[in-house]
A and B are shown apart, each in its own frame.
Chain A
Amino acid sequence: MSEPQSSAARLPGAPGFNLFHYASPQTFYPLAGRLLWPCWLLAAALCAIGLYIGFFVAPTDATQGDSYRIIFIHVPAAWMSMVVYLAMAFWCIVGLIFNTRLSFMMSSALAPTGALWAFVALWTGALWGKPTWGTYWVWDARLTSELILFFLYCGYMALQAAIDDPRRADRAGALIAIVGAVNVPIIYFSVKWWNTLHQGASVSLTAAPTMATTMLWGMLVMALAAWAYTVGAALLRVRAIMIERERHTDWVRQLAQGGGSRT
């Protein structure tokens, strides 16, 4: 614990960036604070550019009209919901291997934002489905998997909320997150397989096989905006979690005494 800290202290401001230096909450806290505003600004700027491309540059779709513009929020949300789950599982594995409490905090900081994206993907999927397929919900493989993913997020958060001891909550949550991550591809495959049997719902979401490049760009920029926002939200939440959990340690006390509003 003290070894990596001292080695990092020997090179203040050196270009060589010691990763383990930031593996403890008290060193990570200020770093997260410094990263917050860049994340927000990046998210806002990218979102503005993405929306501009999505609404003003990208042409109206020949078959779907303007309803397809939901794609610029739907697809990035769906991507993020999956990426965030993987990131959660990754931090859980790191936490279990290296026994770093910050990794578990990171994972639980990501979960609500991931659940938010899963919900947004479902919501926008339903609103897109109505004009395109004539119904708000079809048991399409992707929509169904997204729903299950949303339930997985809920399960993870509910389990953590039900356990008072943070150490147990961390580890139990990590276990279910990893089991869930293993299951997600199996679930996707099974639902897809089920879908081919019940032909009624075999409408594909790949409605635009020859997607205009501007559409693709809009989606990409919006995805990056969602990415930046997710990082910002997770950092903000992890900072709150750090203070909540480490309230009785010296570094939080010093922080609290050194003026509440400073980062």
Chain B
Amino acid sequence: MNWESARQFWEMGGYGFFVWGSYGVTALLVAAELLLLARRTKQARALATQDAALARIDAERRSGS
């Protein structure tokens, strides 16, 4: 084990800013990408559902008249 306390772990031998700056920003970017992706998927699905509903209404109207 390299670390004797949580504080020591956090300080990273004096390089805490650099190490945690690297890992933190990476984690942040990955999280942001996942969030954006989830939103994009949801929007695409919503649009498709809307589109399908419109198409169905259109088809019903056409067969009705």
Answer yes or no: A and B touching, Cβ < 8 Å: yes
B59 to chain A, nearest CB (A): 10
Contact between chains at A66 and B12 (CB < 8 Å): yes
Decide yes or no: A69 and B19 within 8 Å by CB, A229-B30, A253-B52 being known contacts: yes
> Which chain B residue shows the least CB distance to A40?
B34
Q: Which residues of A contact B33 (CB under 8 A)?
A: 112-113, 116, 233
Q: Mark B28-44, 1 if CB is under 8 A from A, else 0.
A: 01100110011011001
Contact between chains at A66 and B48 (CB < 8 Å): no
> Which chain B residue shows the least CB distance to A113?
B33
A132 to chain B, nearest CB (A): 9
> Which chain A residue shows the least CB distance to B34?
A233
B14 to chain A, nearest CB (A): 7
A4 within 8 A of B: no
Residue from the list B12, B13, B23, B48 in contact with A247, Cβ < 8 A: B48
Contact between chains at B26 and A124 (CB < 8 Å): yes
Which residues in window 217-254 of A have CB below 8 A to B? 229, 233, 236-237, 239-240, 243-244, 247-248, 252-254
Q: Mark A121-144, 1 if CB is under 8 A from B, else 0.
A: 001100110110000000000000
Contact between chains at A70 and B22 (CB < 8 Å): yes
Contact between chains at B49 and A116 (CB < 8 Å): no
Contact between chains at B48 and A236 (CB < 8 Å): no
Decide yes or no: A256 and B22 within 8 Å by CB, A119-B29, A237-B37 being known contacts: no
Distance A243 CA – B52 CA, assembled complex (angstroms): 12
Q: Is the interface of B mostly helix, strand, loop or mixed?
A: helix
Q: How large is the interface on B (under 10, 10 to 19, 20 to 34, 35 or more residues)?
A: 20 to 34
Distance A257 CA – B1 CA, assembled complex (angstroms): 55
Q: How many A-B residue pairs have CB under 8 A?
A: 103
> Which chain B residue shows the least CB distance to A255?
B48
Contact between chains at B51 and A253 (CB < 8 Å): yes
Q: Which residues of B contact A70 (CB under 8 A)?
A: 18-19, 22
A86 within 8 A of B: no
Distance A67 CA – B23 CA, assembled complex (angstroms): 12
Residue from the list B21, B41, B46, B52 in contact with A127, Cβ < 8 A: B21
> Which chain B residue shows the least CB distance to A259?
B49
A74 within 8 A of B: yes
Contact between chains at B22 and A124 (CB < 8 Å): yes
A56 to chain B, nearest CB (A): 6
Distance A243 CA – B15 CA, assembled complex (angstroms): 46
Q: Which residues of A contact B34 (CB under 8 A)?
A: 233
B57 to chain A, nearest CB (A): 12
Contact between chains at B45 and A127 (CB < 8 Å): no
Residues of A within 8 A of B (CB): 55-56, 58-60, 65-67, 69-70, 73-74, 77, 112-113, 116, 119-120, 123-124, 127-128, 130-131, 229, 233, 236-237, 239-240, 243-244, 247-248, 252-257, 260
Apart from the given pairs A66-B15, A70-B19, 13 other A-B contacts in the complex at a CB distance below 8 Å = A55-B9, A67-B18, A67-B19, A69-B12, A123-B22, A124-B25, A124-B26, A229-B30, A236-B41, A243-B41, A256-B51, A257-B52, A260-B49
| Interface pairs (8), CB distance under 8 Å | A70-B22, A123-B26, A131-B18, A243-B48, A247-B51, A256-B48, A256-B49, A260-B49
